[in-house]
Amino acid sequence: MPSFHLTISLIALGLFLFLFFAHRTWIRPKPLPPGPKGWPIIGNIFDAPKEKVHIAYMEMARKYGSDLLYLKMAGTSMLILNSTEATNDLFVGRSTLYSNRPRFPMICELMGWDYNFGFISYGTRWRKLRAMFTQQISPSNLQTYEKPRMQESVHVFLNRLLETPKEFENHLRFLSGGNIISSVYGIVANDSDFHDPYIDLAKNALQGLAQAAIPGTYLVDAFPLLKNIPGWIPGARFKRKAAHERKTVEEMIKQPLEFVKRNMASGTAKSSMASRALQQMQDDGSWSEDKENLLMNALGSIYTGGADTTSTVTNTILLALVCNPDILKKGQAAVDAVVGHDWLPGIVDEGKIPYVNALVMEGLRWRPVAPLAVAHHTDNADIYKGYYIPANTIVMGNSWAILHDPATYGEDVDQFRPERFLNPDGTLNSTVPYPDAAFGYGRRICPGRGFAQSAIWLTVASLLACFDLSKVSDKDGVAIEPSTDYIEGFGLYPRPYECTITPRSQSIEKMIRQSVS
């Protein structure tokens, strides 16, 4: 009898091994992309970096001699793309397969960020939301409505810097947030004590998003069924947190649109993306509750997409100018040569000062706000470069690796050097690629990048025209070097730093004050 059971067990084991290896042969005819070996069941959990993830993945890929890096995280396949070639081939060349998003249980299903088309699955709703977004922020609307508004906002920002230069980081945040809510909803930000109710709503919602988006923060992202447990039971604190965050997110996208609708009813609404779109719906009879909800979500995506990122990039450039006085002087000379000393830079000057374009591009490249782009997801298996990519793989573009590739941007990629984008004669060098990776990839690339580029350009040109920037000194008169080691979270953010900001001349100071009179 024991020998009979042993025989049956051996046959079962043999059948299992046959089916296992046959499955590997039939379903996975090619090897997986390079990566650490990992352990049974848990995979590469212990190989996953805990900090400077973008740099760790870049260095790991170099270790394996491949721009593809594959890890298995407790059953979930993850592929990191560390080159422009790979991101173009997959996110652009095979966009139908690689344009989806993974499931975000905490962010989307519990916290309510599924209103934002940047996080939802590729499909009909995504296309409708993106089309609505793109329509509102089209080049014609940008030129007709938004750029003049940007110029007004920048002039207010310059005056605030005159009054309280030490609060420059707050002024930058209010410039960015105020410009967005003005363009999108026609709301004039109240900057008393740097608190505006609408900007604060966006700030609070984005802080919640930043915390929840860090991989591994919430167990529900690994085990989505946990989202169904009651919020009152022990261990379900994440459900209570999500309910609180969901309320903030809903208020953030609903309250500004309600403000616009009230003002339209009373005849006091300022022209904005929201008021123009609602008026068009009324005029052509196309209004419906579903279409208004679609508009609300699209406008909310613009609102949150630009409320934080443009100020971060501008702050990065300001930090670089403080740390590099020679670059500051070159930038000031370039602006002076085109604009002169009798007026402030304006929207008509955009594109006429290549050095400012180079500064913006270098700011986007040197410290990308999102060093690892938001994850893509593939529903079906694929073969690329002779490697097998399983279905349901999370695929991320390592923007840091791409924007710090010495083969593309030079051996000094760790340095802030705008000249890398310029020819010897000072014109833009078309052979050095624009840092598009800072905005994402393929069909998922940020459609608001034109708005962001113009807003950052005008702010940087105005700072160069109007102010001298320098490091502060300690009690012994020694200059204090600001840190360029950024704070990590959902994105990269400059650490708080001090600098001295003074008007370049009395005539420029007078011109700044007159710009808002």
Task: Please list, residue by residue across 186-201, b when 16 or more beta carbons sit within 10 angstroms of its beta carbon and e when fewer do.
Answer: bbebebeebebebbeb
Select from 381, 400, 401, 403 the least CA-distant residue to 390. Answer: 381
Number of helical H runs and strand E runs in the chain: 19, 10
Structure tokens at 474: 């300690």
Select from 301, 291, 277, 254 the least CA-distant residue to 446. Answer: 301
**CA–CA distance, 363 with 455 (Å, rounded to integer):** 13
Which single residue is written with the structure tokens 């986007």?
364
Q: Are 36 and 60 in contact (CB under 8 A)?
A: yes
For the chain, percent helix, then strand, then coil, each to nearest 5?
60, 10, 30
* 323 carries a ligand binding annotation: no
Phi and psi at residue 440, to the nearest 5° = 100, -165
Phi and psi at residue 503, to the nearest 5° = -65, 145
- Taking the C-alpha atoms of 283, 285, 287 and 291 in order, what is their torsion angle to the nearest 10 degrees? -100
Strands 376-378 and 76-81: unpaired
Select from 107, 178, 118 the least CA-distant residue to 149. Answer: 178
Burial of residue 17 (CB within 10 Å: 0-12, 13-18, 19+) is exposed
**CA–CA distance, 329 with 355 (Å, rounded to integer):** 11
Burial of residue 79 (CB within 10 Å: 0-12, 13-18, 19+) is buried
Strands 393-397 and 76-81: parallel
Length, in residues, of the chain:
517
Identity of the amino acid at 320: A
**Nearest-5° Cα angle at 145, 141 to 148:** 135
Select from 400, 364, 487 the least CA-distant residue to 56. Answer: 400
**CA–CA distance, 235 with 254 (Å, rounded to integer):** 31
**CA–CA distance, 246 with 113 (Å, rounded to integer):** 8
Binding residues for heme, as ranges, are 446
Residues flagged as binding site: 446
